[in-house]
């Protein structure tokens, strides 16, 4: 028995197909890393390929490390010569050796995002760019997108035509690149772009690497952008032994530049390519896979595949709809607390970072340790800390840290030199920083900064008047801070995805303030800040690894958990409002792929939840159930009549002092106004037209043999061994089996 006999037939075919272009369509949980490592072993052990002629490219250092470890274990001696690294690491190694051909020094610096913003500030200053018209982060985003498409400054300017903004952005792009080269530096996008430029302008260098890497494997190919595609195409052009592994159904990073067309048009880009589909899943139960299959098949832009497993059928997929988002979070956390699964085996996934706030708070309430992945603690996020700092100054003028944090946020032209003078004055006169700002005219050497500081003080005093006795609500106060300081306007003008996410987070803080007032009956700013501080303090939680995971769906890709809760399954939340109302149908398809990724993170159990109404920016909005729930197969969505109301009543009896958290939710199938159109009534037949041992057909699962029939009271429970779909247990009234 060889090591390859442990692979299933399709995995063996992929591992042994070594010559020419190969596309491995690897469905979720189908063992793609196992195939790649065995393929490397096969190349060396059976095809006698030199290890140094093999390259494996991944997207993350974690994935590269995992592949390196597996290859070393499988291949043994000589495996260290296989080049296993990320796209960026690969390009750095190449450029360190040959970048002088492009006019750079080999000791070039690599600029991270903070370095880029600092450099862009200098560029704005050099070109006298009006900061009210152009935002540094927004321009950097446009430049990054251009580089993903291999569009340089000159081509960008040519394409801009007479468009003023595009033309100005092109000039900024041009100067930005000039300053990068002057500093002998590359940003992250340049690492790919400059390697492609090096190969295109220096054929001898390209041929050297083509001869070096005669067998190339690329993981997560669906996440590649145009620049990465061209890099791979150039390297593989001579020998054409290119193997790419990916899943178009898991392409969810378009906002980062990923181009799904790279995998969908692989056969056109590389004529004669062979395609191998890995559809056997080793992770999830068949019920979970059926749910994923039925949802994703509604996408048009995909390659046909259907996941199946030899695992058990498993528990039905559950969906519950609640009246409010608070009740939804309460249900999820109470279920987590009572579950037979350990905390580390459970995860709550959601579409936006802003949704984490309620789940974090309920974790605190139930004393459930948690880890937040793909983002920082809600109250530690920059925009939340900024708004809270304003509230602290309004409530307590002696909080110097709060004053220092927002004195120039948003930008007011109050520089570090001016603040140093104010700090010295405050220290000498034993004043708080804010009190010193109130006496700005008395501070020596401030000059023109006095007027700007007085403007800040005037804003704070106006907000204090709003918050005074008999004043406005906390919701209105926060909105006053956002409006009067110009904080929200600055984020809106950025127009970037990150800025929109930050605005959504601030909206969630407004929701928190409105909920606090409704629950406590108090408008006290001090009490609100105290509650927020207590919720934000998670240091007292159990620090062991036994924690439930809270994370966004984008962060969950590549991970798996025995039990998963998909929260916020509502139209205009998931799918997002932007996708729902977008004229481009591919936006909605990307949201559906994201749902597919979420479903396939679950190994044993999957629970989907939604709320009929949810607070957005302090206002209550009603939402229909997500279309993705409506796309679930009937066998998973309708036959599991789970009653969370009864569960909540039991929970209420179990938890003393938790009467205020008593839920009012109803399961979706008992909703007085169903949000989607599937409702069924079971009508038990007097007898069935088939018996155990008979061959039957099912409209979705095909043909099979009846293994067992049980009288379940309300209906007959039929177990069928299907030829392709495996064993299924279903109710006869829904299955509509036909004897053949």
Q: Is 400 a catalytic residue?
A: no
Angle between helices 497-520 and 487-494 (to 10 degrees): 140
Catalytic residue, from 136, 175, 219, 715: name it. Answer: 219
Q: Which helix (H) or strand (E) holds 226?
A: helix 226-236
Catalytic residue, from 230, 250, 286, 335: name it. Answer: 250
Helix (H, G, I), strand (E, B), or coil: what is residue 723?
coil
- Residue 333 token pair: 């956390």
DSSP annotation of 706? E
From CA 119, how far away is CA 184, in angstroms rounded? 13
- Residue 675 token pair: 């949000």
Helix (H, G, I), strand (E, B), or coil: what is residue 61?
helix
Catalytic residue, from 175, 187, 190, 220: name it. Answer: 220
From CA 145, how far away is CA 139, in angstroms rounded? 10
From CA 533, how far away is CA 527, in angstroms rounded? 10
Q: Is 593 a catalytic residue?
A: no
From CA 698, how far away is CA 54, in angstroms rounded? 47
Catalytic residue, from 12, 32, 326, 590: name it. Answer: 32
**Which pairs from 724-729 meet CB under 8 Å and 24+ separation?**
724/308, 725/286, 725/308, 725/700, 725/701, 726/286, 726/308, 726/309, 726/310, 726/313, 727/313, 728/286, 728/313, 728/635, 728/698, 728/701, 728/704, 729/313
From CA 412, how far away is CA 422, in angstroms rounded? 16
The residue with tokens 């039925």 is: 294
From CA 51, how far away is CA 579, in angstroms rounded? 46
Contact, 101 vs 198, CB < 8 A? yes
Contact partners, residue 92, CB within 8 Å, separation at least 6 = 110, 191
Q: Is 190 a catalytic residue?
A: no
Q: Is 32 a catalytic residue?
A: yes
DSSP annotation of 317? P
Catalytic residue, from 33, 423, 484, 719: name it. Answer: 33
- Beta-sheet pairing, 318-324 with 602-616: parallel
Contact, 558 vs 220, CB < 8 A? no
Contact partners, residue 570, CB within 8 Å, separation at least 6 = 610, 611, 614, 623, 624, 625, 626
Phi, psi dihedrals of residue 713, rounded to the nearest 5°: 90, -75
Q: Is 729 a catalytic residue?
A: no
Contact partners, residue 659, CB within 8 Å, separation at least 6 = 652
- Beta-sheet pairing, 726-731 with 716-722: antiparallel
Catalytic residue, from 305, 601, 614, 728: name it. Answer: 601
Contact, 315 vs 605, CB < 8 A? yes
Phi, psi dihedrals of residue 321, rounded to the nearest 5°: -110, 140
The residue with tokens 């995971």 is: 549
In 158-214, DSSP assigns E strands to: 185-187
Q: Is 601 a catalytic residue?
A: yes
Contact partners, residue 734, CB within 8 Å, separation at least 6 = 634, 635, 638, 639, 680, 682
For the chain, the residue count is 740
Angle between helices 382-395 and 449-467 (to 10 degrees): 80
End-to-end CA distance of the chain: 41
Q: Measured between alpha carbons, how far is residue 245 from residues 18, 67, 242 in Å? A: 13, 13, 10
From CA 480, how far away is CA 474, in angstroms rounded? 9
The residue with tokens 């909105």 is: 479
| Residues labelled as active-site residues | 32-33, 219-220, 250, 601
């Amino acid at each position: 028995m060889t090591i390859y006999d442990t692979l299933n037939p399709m995995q063996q075919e992929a591992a042994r197909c070594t010559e020419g272009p190969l596309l491995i369509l690897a469905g979720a949980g189908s063992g793609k890393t196992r195939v790649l490592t065995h393929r490397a072993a096969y190349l060396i052990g059976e095809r006698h390929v030199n290890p140094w002629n093999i390259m494996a490219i991944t997207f993350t250092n974690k994935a590269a490390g995992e592949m390196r470890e597996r290859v070393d274990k499988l291949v043994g001696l000589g495996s260290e010569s296989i080049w296993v690294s990320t796209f960026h690491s690969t390009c750095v190694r190449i450029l360190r050796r040959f970048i002088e051909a492009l006019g750079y020094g080999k000791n070039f610096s690599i600029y991270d995002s903070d370095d880029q913003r600092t450099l862009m500030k200098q560029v704005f200053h050099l070109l006298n760019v009006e900061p009210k018209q152009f935002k540094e982060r927004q321009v950097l985003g446009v430049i990054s997108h251009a580089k993903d498409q291999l569009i340089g400054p000159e081509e960008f300017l040519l394409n801009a035509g007479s468009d003023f903004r595009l033309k100005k952005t092109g000039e900024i792009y041009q100067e930005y690149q000039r300053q990068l080269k002057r500093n002998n530096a590359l940003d992250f996008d340049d690492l790919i772009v400059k390697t492609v430029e090096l190969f295109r302008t220096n054929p001898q260098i390209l041929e050297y690497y083509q001869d070096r890497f005669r067998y190339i494997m690329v993981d997560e190919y669906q996440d590649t952008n145009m620049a990465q595609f061209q890099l791979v195409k150039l390297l593989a052009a001579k020998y054409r032994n290119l193997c790419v592994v990916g899943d178009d159904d898991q392409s969810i990073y378009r906002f980062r530049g990923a181009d799904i067309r790279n995998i969908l048009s692989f056969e056109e880009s590389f004529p004669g390519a062979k395609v191998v589909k890995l559809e056997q899943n080793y992770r999830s139960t068949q019920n979970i896979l059926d749910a994923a299959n039925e949802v994703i098949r509604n996408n048009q832009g995909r390659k046909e595949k259907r996941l199946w497993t030899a695992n058990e059928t498993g528990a039905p997929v559950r969906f519950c709809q609640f009246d409010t988002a608070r009740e939804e979070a309460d249900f999820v956390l109470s279920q987590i607390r009572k579950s037979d699964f350990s905390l580390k085996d459970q995860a709550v996934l959601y579409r936006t970072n802003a949704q984490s706030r309620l789940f974090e708070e309920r974790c605190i309430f139930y004393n459930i340790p948690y880890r937040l992945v793909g983002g920082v603690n809600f109250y530690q996020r920059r925009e939340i800390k900024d708004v809270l700092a304003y509230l602290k100054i309004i409530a307590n003028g002696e909080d110097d840290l709060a004053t220092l944090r927002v004195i120039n946020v948003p930008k007011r032209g109050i520089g570090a030199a001016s603040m140093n003078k104010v700090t010295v004055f405050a220290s000498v006169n034993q004043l708080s920083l804010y009190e010193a700002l109130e006496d700005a005219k008395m501070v020596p050497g401030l000059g023109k900064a006095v007027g700007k500081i007085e403007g800040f003080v005037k804003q704070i005093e106006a907000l204090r008047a709003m918050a005074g006795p008999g004043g406005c609500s906390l919701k209105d106060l926060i909105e006053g801070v956002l409006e009067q300081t110009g904080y929200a306007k600055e984020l809106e003008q950025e127009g970037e995805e990150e800025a929109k996410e930050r605005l959504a987070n601030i909206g969630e803080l407004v929701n928190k303030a409105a909920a606090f007032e409704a629950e406590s009956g108090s408008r006290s700013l001090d009490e609100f800040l105290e509650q927020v501080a207590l919720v934000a303090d998670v240091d007292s939680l159990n620090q062991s690894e036994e924690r439930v995971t809270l994370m966004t769906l984008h962060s969950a890709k590549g991970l798996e958990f025995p039990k998963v809760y998909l929260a916020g399954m509502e139209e205009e939340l998931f799918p997002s409002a932007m996708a729902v109302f977008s004229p481009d149908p591919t936006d909605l398809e990307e949201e559906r792929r994201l749902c597919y990724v979420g479903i396939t993170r679950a190994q044993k159990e999957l629970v989907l939840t939604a709320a009929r109404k949810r607070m957005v920016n302090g206002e209550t909005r009603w939402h229909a159930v997500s279309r993705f729930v409506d796309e679930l197969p009937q066998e998973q969505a309708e036959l599991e009549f789970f009653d969370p109301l009864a569960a909540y009543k039991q929970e209420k009896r179990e938890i003393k002092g938790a009467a205020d958290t008593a839920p009012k939710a109803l399961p979706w199938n008992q909703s007085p106004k169903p949000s989607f159109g599937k409702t069924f009534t079971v009508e038990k037949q007097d007898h069935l037209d088939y018996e155990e041992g008979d061959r039957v057909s099912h409209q979705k699962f095909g043909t099979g043999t009846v293994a067992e029939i049980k009288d379940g009271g309300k209906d007959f429970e039929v177990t069928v061994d299907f030829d392709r779909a495996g064993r299924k247990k279903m109710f006869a009234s829904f299955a509509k089996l036909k004897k053949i």
